[in-house]
């Protein structure tokens, strides 16, 4: 190539030696967010409808008959629990379904081949799960404000538990997605582990209304601390101090994150 041709090529396609390479993290994050948003009626709006039905039915049946916190109507008590339950379930579903589907269809290779570190892959999946969880939670809050306006006394605690809780569920979804080889296994994980733990985490009741044995058992459920701390942000009442709940949730999320990254590093059930 002559010097003139080289100069012409550099004019058409200028080379910037200082330009940093674009991280594949953003591409994978965009892909994961686009994946659930393309079917938003199923991934975002369907959970809103389900949560609204829970609220309308339980508030109609229980309002005026029970009072979990002094001066807090049962319908208002129910809203934060339903919000967190929906956020956790959808954050888990986002990562677990994406990985399981990619493994079954074989396109997981397009995630493993690019020069992405294990932390970048993990972070992209979990960040998308957090976005989906927060979108569902925010939608529920907007809709329920029309029926039962609920105050936010401590927005910091609401945001902290929303982020930590969805990150926990997203990391757990990565582990479940790596472990599951087919949709039946993923459905079993969702139906026999995630759903019971969220329903038995104090969504519909305060654990102080339970017998002593079941109170102690509830303290072994990590989802209980997420819902209890999240509810504290709205009413300033909780069964456990919010700092203790946040510490438990944060440590649990970090532990799951390191486990998920280690599974990605080893290629467990991914490279076969």
64-105 pLDDT tens trace: 566 677 778 888 899 999 999 999 999 999 999 999 999 998
**pLDDT higher than 50, residue 2:** yes
- Measured CA to CA, the distance from residue 241 to residue 157 in angstroms comes to 11
- Written as six digits, the tokens of 60 are 């109609």
Q: How confident is the model at residue 11 (pLDDT cuts 50, 70, 90)?
A: very low
The predicted structure's pLDDT at residue 207: 85
The predicted structure's pLDDT at residue 146: 86
Out of 58-67, 101-110, 230-239, 251-260, least confident range: 58-67
Q: What is the largest CA-CA distance in the chain?
A: 88
The pLDDT tens digits of the residues spanning 131-178 come to 999 999 999 999 998 888 888 999 999 999 999 999 999 999 999 999
Out of 5-19, 91-105, 175-189, least confident range: 5-19
**pLDDT higher than 80, residue 249:** yes
The predicted structure's pLDDT at residue 250: 96
- Measured CA to CA, the distance from residue 134 to residue 229 in angstroms comes to 16
Cβ atoms 92, 170 nearer than 8 A = yes
Would you call 151 exposed, middle or buried from its count of C-beta atoms within 10 A (0-12, 13-18, 19+)?
Answer: exposed
Q: How far is CA 260 from CA 13, 42, 89, 135, 267, in A?
A: 41, 27, 18, 24, 10
- Measured CA to CA, the distance from residue 82 to residue 48 in angstroms comes to 10
Cβ atoms 168, 198 nearer than 8 A = no
- Measured CA to CA, the distance from residue 223 to residue 242 in angstroms comes to 13
- Measured CA to CA, the distance from residue 89 to residue 256 in angstroms comes to 16
**Coil, strand or helix at 230:** helix
The predicted structure's pLDDT at residue 112: 86
Of 92, 232, 111, 99, nearest in space to 167 by CA: 92
Cβ atoms 26, 120 nearer than 8 A = no
**pLDDT higher than 70, residue 3:** no
The predicted structure's pLDDT at residue 56: 85
Which carries the bigger pLDDT value, residue 9 or residue 40? 40
Q: What is the mean pLDDT of the chain?
A: 87
- Written as six digits, the tokens of 9 are 């090529």
């Amino acid at each position: 190539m002559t010097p003139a041709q080289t100069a012409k090529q550099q004019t058409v396609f200028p080379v910037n030696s200082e330009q940093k390479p674009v991280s594949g993290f953003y591409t994978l994050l965009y892909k994961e967010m686009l994946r659930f948003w393309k079917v938003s009626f199923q991934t975002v709006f369907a959970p809103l409808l389900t949560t609204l039905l829970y609220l309308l039915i339980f508030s109609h049946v229980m309002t005026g008959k029970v009072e979990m916190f002094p001066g807090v109507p049962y319908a208002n008590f129910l809203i934060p629990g339903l919000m967190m339950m929906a956020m956790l379930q959808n954050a888990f579903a986002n990562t677990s379904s994406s990985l399981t589907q990619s493994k079954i269809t074989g396109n997981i290779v397009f995630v493993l081949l690019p020069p992405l570190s294990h932390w970048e892959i993990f972070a992209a999946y979990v960040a998308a799960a957090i976005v989906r969880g927060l979108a569902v939670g925010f939608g529920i809050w907007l809709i329920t404000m029309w029926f039962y306006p609920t105050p936010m006394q401590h927005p910091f605690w609401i945001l902290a538990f929303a982020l930590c809780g969805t990150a926990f569920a997203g990391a757990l979804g990565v582990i479940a997605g790596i472990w599951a080889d087919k949709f039946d296994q993923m459905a079993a994980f969702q139906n026999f582990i995630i759903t019971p733990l969220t329903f038995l985490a104090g969504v519909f009741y305060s654990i102080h209304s339970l017998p002593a044995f079941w109170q102690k058992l509830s303290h072994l459920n990590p989802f209980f601390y997420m819902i209890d701390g999240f509810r504290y942000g709205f009413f300033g009442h909780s069964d456990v101090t919010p700092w203790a709940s946040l510490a438990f949730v944060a440590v649990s999320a970090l532990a799951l994150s390191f486990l998920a990254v280690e599974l990605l590093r080893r290629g467990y059930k991914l490279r076969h």
